[in-house]
Amino acid sequence: MDEILIFLVKYCSDIYKKHSFRFIDSGVSASFGNAFIILENDNLKLRLISDRGQLFLDFHSNIDKNKDNWYSIDLVRQLITGENDYYSLLDENNGLFIEKNLEGVLQLFDKDVASQTIERLNSARRKRAEVLFG
């Protein structure tokens, strides 16, 4: 859990005050120190996961009726930068991306464009599966 909280302080310190995110769920597992935190504002849920010492960040649009439809940071990053690197670990590189591009990420999930964003993310997810799994 500590790694998640450190990431939030280091790269997303204004997420609460400026963007109205709030903690809605969290949990810690005794095995491997796994943990998660879910934050939410009006348009978007963020799920930060610590899995065996590795951090991940997933995004879920609040207009999406499929509660299991989470998108990893590499897919969201691809929509903003056009990069085709499928790298979803939350390291310094992805932390700096979030720090510098949080406004752009939030715009992708604005209620007025979220349905188009979901379509684009689903398409990017299918392309990623083709590339990675043939």
62-71 — which CB contacts under 8 Å span 24+ positions? 62/109, 62/114, 63/111, 63/114, 63/115, 63/118, 64/114, 64/118, 69/118, 71/121, 71/125
Place of tokens 């310094």: 92
* pLDDT given for residue 118 in this prediction: 96
Predicted model pTM: 0.92
| Segment 36-50, tens digit of pLDDT | 999 999 999 999 999
